[in-house]
Amino acid sequence: MQRIGVFVCHCGSNIAATVDVKKVVEMAMCEPGVVHAEDYPYMCSEAGQAKIQAAIKEKNLGGVVVCSCSPRMHENTFRKAAEKAGLNPYMVEIANIREHCSWIHKNMEEATEKAVILMKAAVAKVNLNTPLQAGESRVTKRALVIGGGIAGIQTALDIAEAGYPVDIVEKTPSIGGRMSQLDKTFPTLDCSACILTPKMVEANAHPNINIYTYSEVEKVSGFVGDFTVDIRKKARSVDMSKCTGCGVCQEKCPNKKTPNEFNRGLNNRSAIYTPFAQAIPNVPVIDREHCTKFLTGKCGICAKVCQAGAVDYEQQDEIITEKYGAIVVATGFNMINLDKYDEYAYSQSKDVITSLELERIMNAAGPTKGHLERLSDGKAPKEMVFIQCVGSRCADKRGKSYCSKICCMYTAKHAMLIRDKYPDVNVTVFYIDVRTPGKNFDEFYRRAVEEYGVNYIKGQVGKVIPQPDGKLLVQGSDLLSNKQILKEADMVVLAAAIEPEPGVRNIATMLTASIDTNDFLTEAHAKLRPVESPTAGIFLSGVCQGPKDIPETVSQAGAAAVKAIGLLAKDKLTTNPCTAKADELMCNGCSQCANVCPYGAISYETKLINDHGVREDRRVAVVNSALCQGCGACTVTCPSGAMDLQGFSNRQILAEVDAICR
Amino acid sequence: MSINNNSEFKPKIVAFCCNWCSYAGADLAGSSRLTYPADVKIIRVPCSCRVNPMFILRAFEKGADGVILCGCHPGDCHYTSGNFYARRRMTLLFSMLDYIGVENGRTRVEWVSAAEGVKFSATMNSFVEKIYSLGKNVRLEDLRCKN
């Protein structure tokens, strides 16, 4: 039996208002093993911790129960306090009487009764606790950044500047991401390429940064500080070391009928291509699904015209295995598919476009060389209608429940740019709300309305009907004057919702990182740990965590980098000692535990076992505590009951069950 | 909660919650002040796959009226696959509990993520309501399984 101390926290009035803390203290003293019990307004405060430490020393405590907030909040605080007083930190248990009791119950009698039971369960558990020693694991001083958009580039640059090597894995042929597709950026209207491309060049030239483009993460194993990652470098069909980036192959390629992804399919590209002129690396890729040579075997022009002899049709995918200490996810976003929003006639008319398509049209390197024109007939539009919140803030299942956050601002930008360049074009914006928080954002929106005369109408558009003369009839409502509106437009621009890049769920699964129902990666704490995943060693950068604009993305990218640097700066990490352990006397070496172990932490050894005087060689399970993450799958699978989990042992959990059901 | 408290029946309900999703979901229910009956007592386990059928049998043996196991959503397990093991084991266990006198409604497996405080509270409310409707777990006592 341990000598146990029970410490009941008032948490100001958070606990004390609904739980009779004195009663909990009184009841604690009746529990077997409890030699000390007291309450204090704030146990987590320095004075509260000092009380615990004093009691440990004076009463020679072997176990501590703190009845307070969730262990997810302060378990570490109290463990550290106990350790300073000379107690093994794993002899501390928390009874969660705030989140699981005082905050959800209103009746004092009921809440007190429950708090007492939770205290008893924790006392019963701590009675069976054994001192555990945290191990150490090495930190591989190298970071992986998944995604080469502005978020990934910024994170990689910041980590590299701190002196640690970084690899960027980008699935498309060039880094740059969504930002490279944008024309101008709000609220300053500087050109996107002018601020992005120098960063791309810097990342490419940085001695600490290694970029794998046209590559994807295929497999991740290991844990914080020691991840092993397989990266599939897809066959580019062009030798990167030989290619000079002259571009002749792209010019001469006879197959120019592939939709150009970079221009959102608004024009076509050749089968051998670089996504855009400033691509990094400036080495083309052969799109094997569309290349005549790969489809029919007859062509090979690019190989003939390449003076450097870089084209290599035989190139194979390559798997690179590398070790990393930290992984940053920066997978970014895409626009939602508009198939379910056919009332806006997106599939029926070429002149109904998304905002990202408009970015390409407005861009000097885009399909129309920067001239605003209708894609159906090439005529200059006179009336333009913008529809906000297409798929964002959507109550039904068709769209997304969240606000995409960037659309209000980029629509104000588009409207302003159009009115500035083409003053004769009328611009109307249908909106639900205009949301412009951010530095100089509301001023920007007001300039669009006041200086550039953009017509903002509060109301939604019900339907867009293509007319026989090529115009588009927009049916909407004006909520402020309560009128139905019919408006003829030459072009309609849809602010489609943004969604996380489709592959992110797969990546999250490989990383065992949490992901929410919208496929945004979950942060460890919504307010206090916004750039860390709950999975140790995984950090979040950019839109993969939630919608955000460029300034926010860049600041988050920097924050993620700092967190990763903080990890890489350590030489060793302490490991979780709550790992599985096999009882060699009971183990019969059946291998079932190894089959369910997700970490490959269990192996078998033949050992000389002394079983009550009988000495024999037996095959027994051995857990590698550096690999074991402590899930406990093996403990339940083991048919002989040899496997147990330290810190959550069978006897400990059963003691808790008994205390609750007593 | 609008559960009829006229009767003297105070059920004992054990909720096993995995540390990463459901326990955090319960914390979120707490910090959002989403109430559920005090009959529910939570035991923290690292993963739903840590819950040995033995724990559930022991709870009923010691007089529990209901046992619920909460884990991460399928595919979201912190340990990649633990909740799949839990699901299979519990399906098998629950199918046999009736033989020892524990009705099907007294056990449940639910997936609650760390972001689903509302779901945690709603799940507990509905489970407690179900236990109230089933009443005290007397069948097991009748079978003299309780010591």
pLDDT in tens, B9-43: 899 999 999 998 899 999 989 999 999 999 999 99
- How confident is the model over A398-442, as pLDDT tens digits? 899 999 999 999 999 999 999 999 999 999 999 999 999 999 999
Q: How far is CA A282 from CA A108, A148, A152, A245, B40, in A?
A: 70, 15, 19, 5, 62
B2 part of a folded domain:
no
Collect all residues with Cβ–Cβ distance below 8 Å to A506 and sequence separation of at least 6. none
The residue range of the domain holding B95 is 13-142
Residues of B in contact with A596 (CB under 8 A): 49, 85
The residues in A 586-615 lying below 8 A from B, measured between CB atoms, are 596, 598
% residues pLDDT > 70 (chain A): 100
B147 part of a folded domain:
no
Cα separation, B99 vs A144, in Å, equals 54
Q: From A504, A574, A130, A90, select the one nearest A330 (Cα to Cα).
A: A504
The pLDDT of residue A631 is above 90? yes
% residues pLDDT > 70 (chain B): 91
CATH architecture of A580-646: 2-Layer Sandwich (3.30)
**Coil, strand or helix at A547:** coil
B1 part of a folded domain:
no
B134 part of a folded domain:
yes
- Mutual angle of helices A21-29 and A108-127, in 10-degree steps: 40
Q: Which fold has domain A143-234+317-332+501-568?
A: FAD/NAD(P)-binding domain (3.50.50)
| Contact call for residues A522 and A547 (beta carbons, < 8 A) | no
Closest residue to B52, CB basis, from A509, A522, A636: A636
> Tokens representing A172?
């498309």
- Asked if the Cβ–Cβ distance from B58 to A514 is below 8 Å, we say no
Cα of B12 to nearest chain A Cα, Å: 6
State the total domains in chain B.
1
| Contact call for residues A23 and A112 (beta carbons, < 8 A) | yes
Do the domains spanning A4-127 and A341-497 agree at the CATH topology level? Answer: no
- How confident is the model over A216-262, as pLDDT tens digits? 999 998 888 999 999 999 999 999 999 999 999 999 999 999 999 99
Cβ of A639: how many Cβ atoms within 10 Å? 10
Long-range contacts of A570-574 (CB under 8 A, 24+ apart): A570/A139, A570/A225, A571/A138, A571/A139, A572/A136, A572/A137, A572/A138, A572/A139, A573/A136, A573/A137, A573/A138, A573/A139, A573/A224, A573/A225, A574/A134, A574/A135, A574/A136
- B70 close contact with A: CB closer than 8 A: no
B3 part of a folded domain:
no
Predicted pLDDT of residue A599: 81
CATH, domain range A341-497: 3.50.50.60
The residues in A 47-76 lying below 8 A from B, measured between CB atoms, are 70-72
Q: Delimit the domains of chain A by residue range.
A: 4-127, 143-234+317-332+501-568, 248-305, 341-497, 580-646
% residues pLDDT > 90 (chain A): 90
> Tokens representing A134?
């945290």
Residues of A in contact with B59 (CB under 8 A): 657, 660-661
Predicted pLDDT of residue B1: 44
- B3 close contact with A: CB closer than 8 A: no
The residues in B 100-119 lying below 8 A from A, measured between CB atoms, are 113-115
> Tokens representing B18?
């995995």
- Asked if the Cβ–Cβ distance from A653 to B55 is below 8 Å, we say yes
Using only C-alpha atoms, chain B has a radius of gyration, in whole angstroms, of 15
- A393 close contact with B: CB closer than 8 A: no
Q: From A155, A190, A192, select the one nearest A170 (Cα to Cα).
A: A155
Q: Is the pTM of this model over 0.80?
A: no
B6 part of a folded domain:
no
- How confident is the model over A9-68, as pLDDT tens digits? 999 999 999 999 999 999 999 999 999 999 999 999 999 999 999 999 999 999 999 999
- Asked if the Cβ–Cβ distance from B62 to A661 is below 8 Å, we say yes
Q: How much is the average pLDDT of A576-604?
A: 91
CATH, domain range A4-127: 3.40.50
Q: How much is the average pLDDT of A464-472?
A: 95
CATH for B36 = 3.40.50
Q: How much is the average pLDDT of A294-301?
A: 94
% residues pLDDT > 90 (chain B): 68
Q: Residue A238 carries which DSSP code?
A: B
| Contact call for residues B70 and B112 (beta carbons, < 8 A) | yes
The pLDDT of residue B147 is above 80? no
Q: How far is CA A350 from CA A29, A85, A181, A346, in A?
A: 78, 73, 20, 7
- Asked if the Cβ–Cβ distance from B49 to A110 is below 8 Å, we say no
| Contact call for residues B106 and B67 (beta carbons, < 8 A) | yes
B4 part of a folded domain:
no
